[in-house]
Structure 1
């Protein structure tokens, strides 16, 4: 396992700092906090929140929209890059049979929280009010889970690899859920032709065609010219077009860069998510990712600042639905599905990993934070239900304590590495 500590630590500290400032601010002066969040940058613009005005539709670009819908597209692009490489590359961690047990465990880690969330909602008689938030507790925050996983298992334990595979697959499923179940408005799928047309065009013109022309020529003059003269610009233009297509299609535009990621030239191998060793890979996809590293850390600070400002008085039933979905549904689902995959299905576990480790991994994966906050912000309109659901996502940090306790109970032996 390559060193990822600095990246994840920076990512975590900035995000936590933004969330803590938001919590303090919202509970000291809620009015000024919400005024800041909803600050209007440009009215009657071509991007922004869609609303009716004077009998016709118009868009308003607010600070919240700029961060959540525009800039967070860069965060999801980096997540998509890791998923893409894990699936497509020959040594990809999600390629082939070796990924089947964590993939099946991921399914349990999503179905378990959904069952707990909706089941409790039905028992409490608030199903109709909160059912739209069923996807909130399915999220796993990769960075925070990794940090806690290292504390519990040690950096060299095979359970860490298993956890990262599970978290990457969870992210991939979360992107699909956002696209399908949480449209931002009335769907207009014809606009997706712009997104996928831009992806096809940039792949053919800036990737496939130069390689085709260079076939049999080891000097690769055409590919070199495209890389040196055009660099990332064709993909930036295609990304903007794709993002706009998603917005107009009514699909959450933060996912708008996903069709472009697979079109970017990439290395024949990958070292893994957040790996510092990837800085030595000179392909364009890794070059873009590492140049986005610091901007995305700053974006995540503002994401925490603009989304975690919940008044403590907002704690309500949705808080407990999200929290119990994560800290009960995740461990139970991951253990049951992981056990079925490993034993009845005979897919096995990584060498050095015990069946009981699945329970501990389940608690570690119950930290939903970043993506859970994001889903809460799109699942419910602004108001008490959304605030209460966000509080549940924030409380999921408690899973870190439960993970340490579970590690002690199941006698996890740390493996340094």
Structure 2
């Protein structure tokens, strides 16, 4: 099934990352409720100063993880969105219709359920929390089901979760950012212009783009817009078309090898041999698109470093200190749990079914509604993005702790439901025999 090959490495990293996230979250929760709980709080409140000249930011370790390191997580999200829009499940309306419908339902219904529990009161601001899906956790759960879930379901989940991320990014930018300072926007615009100039001039080393990224980050922070949005903006700017491409690489590499061979036979010095070797290195670098290279470099660091660190810093809820007598505490908890556990699968199934029935899209032949139900249940695993939005939505530490507890509980319950659903429900339709189809037929049916 050739259409799945581009996703295999991505899905494998996400699955392993999901397991690592689970371990980090469990460790943080145990640490925060152990006799050493004070050391947990002390660690994340340790201040770290970063500055250049007279400009200095003195913030906690928790701030640098949530605001700076997570920018690289959002940069990866931006690259994933750009890739999907160019070559993947979002590249045309026909391919994107089903995951778009599923994502819209998977955002609106959970938000509606949360609002139903929190119509009035301080908890109402958290309506964006249950709208999120954690790609790593969700893919990890489906991976545990093995052949009981068709690979196409995983691809649909990936596309659905990416669209969900787009929604979450818009929510953060529009509803959880505080005002706009013009001078900050000008600084961010300067970083944006620098990135555009780098791209226009053909400056290729990816590390160079850290400079405009940090300038945009500082400008957005100054402007009052959540600075992690800088990562998404830069990710969407990175080209998805290779400079050389595979055929260009073969030609350039062959020319460079011929040049290298001629210089060796002519007895030229080692220094003179560097030019064709540099040409081979350039051809290798430019054989794939910058967005693909960036994703390949960033993905392991984000999946195995930044996201587990985020989980460790944010999942440590002090259970013994929770006070459900605080106004809105119980509605917030119930809204988050019900929104993720019930709202996600209901929204995914309802909107997908309506779209299929109306003729806007077609259910792939290798996927059944049982598969969509399992996907919807896995979509209720909100963890990383849900906690991130909760941090922005709730200035009250009591409500924030309750919201985090709701996210953790919903993650556990939704994951268990997805696993049980995959095992208990009849699965013949989830893993249809498609080996007799050609690769083109599989691609056509999966992306119909």
The question of a shared fold, defined as TM-score above 0.5 by the shorter chain, is answered with yes
1:16 corresponds in structure 2 to 22
1:160 corresponds in structure 2 to 154
Residues 94-151 of structure 1 show CA distances to partners (whole Å, capped at 9, x for unaligned) of 12222112101111100110111110224xxxx3121111111101111111122233
1:369 corresponds in structure 2 to 383
Q: TM-score, normalised by structure 2?
A: 0.76
1:335 aligns with 2:345: no
2:294 corresponds in structure 1 to 288
CA spacing shift, 1:40–1:137, aligned 2, 3 Å: same
Is the 1:83–1:168 contact (alpha carbons within 8 Å) kept by the matching residues of 2? Answer: yes
Q: Secondary structure at the match of 2:364?
A: coil
1:179 aligns with 2:173: yes
Is the 1:363–1:402 contact (alpha carbons within 8 Å) kept by the matching residues of 2? Answer: yes
2:112 corresponds in structure 1 to 115
* Aligned match for 1:194, one of 187, 191, 194: 187
2:446 corresponds in structure 1 to none
* Aligned match for 1:237, one of 192, 211, 214: 211
CA spacing shift, 1:394–1:114, aligned 2, 3 Å: same
1:300 corresponds in structure 2 to 307
Q: TM-score, normalised by structure 1?
A: 0.81
* 1:5-404 equivalence runs, <5 A: 6-28=12-34, 29-42=36-49, 60-87=58-85, 89=86, 91-96=87-92, 97-122=94-119, 127-152=120-145, 154=147, 156-183=150-177, 185-189=178-182, 191-203=184-196, 205-208=197-200, 210=201, 223=202, 226-227=203-204, 231-267=205-241, 282-296=288-302, 297-313=304-320, 314=322, 316-317=329-330, 318-381=332-395, 383-395=397-409, 396-404=411-419
How many residue pairs get aligned? The number is 374
Is the 1:14–1:298 contact (alpha carbons within 8 Å) kept by the matching residues of 2? Answer: no
Is the 2:76–2:295 contact (alpha carbons within 8 Å) kept by the matching residues of 1? Answer: yes
Is the 1:189–1:249 contact (alpha carbons within 8 Å) kept by the matching residues of 2? Answer: yes
CA spacing shift, 1:194–1:345, aligned 2, 3 Å: farther
1:273 corresponds in structure 2 to none
Is the 1:196–1:259 contact (alpha carbons within 8 Å) kept by the matching residues of 2? Answer: no
Counterpart-to-counterpart distance in 2, 1:70 and 1:339:
40
The structure whose Rg is larger is: 2
Quote how far apart the aligned CAs of 1:268 are: 5.6
1:405 aligns with 2:391: no
Residues 295-333 of structure 1 show CA distances to partners (whole Å, capped at 9, x for unaligned) of 322122221111011022337512222111101111111
Is the 2:238–2:291 contact (alpha carbons within 8 Å) kept by the matching residues of 1? Answer: yes
Counterpart-to-counterpart distance in 2, 1:45 and 1:378:
27
Quote how far apart the aligned CAs of 1:360 are: 2.3
CA spacing shift, 1:284–1:143, aligned 2, 3 Å: same
Counterpart-to-counterpart distance in 2, 1:170 and 1:400:
18
CA spacing shift, 1:163–1:132, aligned 2, 3 Å: same
CA spacing shift, 1:9–1:145, aligned 2, 3 Å: closer
Counterpart-to-counterpart distance in 1, 2:212 and 2:130:
33
Counterpart-to-counterpart distance in 1, 2:133 and 2:165:
7
Residues 41-67 of structure 1 show CA distances to partners (whole Å, capped at 9, x for unaligned) of 13999999xxxxxxxxx9531101110
Structure 2: tracts of 5 or more residues without a match: 246-284, 436-448
Quote how far apart the aligned CAs of 1:248 are: 0.8
Is the 1:380–1:386 contact (alpha carbons within 8 Å) kept by the matching residues of 2? Answer: yes
Is the 2:77–2:232 contact (alpha carbons within 8 Å) kept by the matching residues of 1? Answer: no
Quote how far apart the aligned CAs of 1:22 are: 1.4
CA spacing shift, 1:160–1:14, aligned 2, 3 Å: closer
Quote how far apart the aligned CAs of 1:293 are: 3.2
Quote how far apart the aligned CAs of 1:34 are: 1.5
Counterpart-to-counterpart distance in 2, 1:373 and 1:47:
34
Is the 1:195–1:259 contact (alpha carbons within 8 Å) kept by the matching residues of 2? Answer: no
1:54 corresponds in structure 2 to none
Is the 1:105–1:334 contact (alpha carbons within 8 Å) kept by the matching residues of 2? Answer: yes
Counterpart-to-counterpart distance in 2, 1:294 and 1:150:
18
Counterpart-to-counterpart distance in 2, 1:98 and 1:47:
51
Q: Secondary structure at the match of 2:59?
A: strand
Structure 1: tracts of 5 or more residues without a match: 49-57, 211-222, 271-278
Counterpart-to-counterpart distance in 1, 2:207 and 2:52:
24
Counterpart-to-counterpart distance in 2, 1:400 and 1:108:
19
Q: Secondary structure at the match of 2:49?
A: strand
Which is helix-richer, 1 or 2?
2
CA spacing shift, 1:105–1:190, aligned 2, 3 Å: farther
2:282 corresponds in structure 1 to none
Is the 1:118–1:131 contact (alpha carbons within 8 Å) kept by the matching residues of 2? Answer: yes
Is the 1:245–1:256 contact (alpha carbons within 8 Å) kept by the matching residues of 2? Answer: no
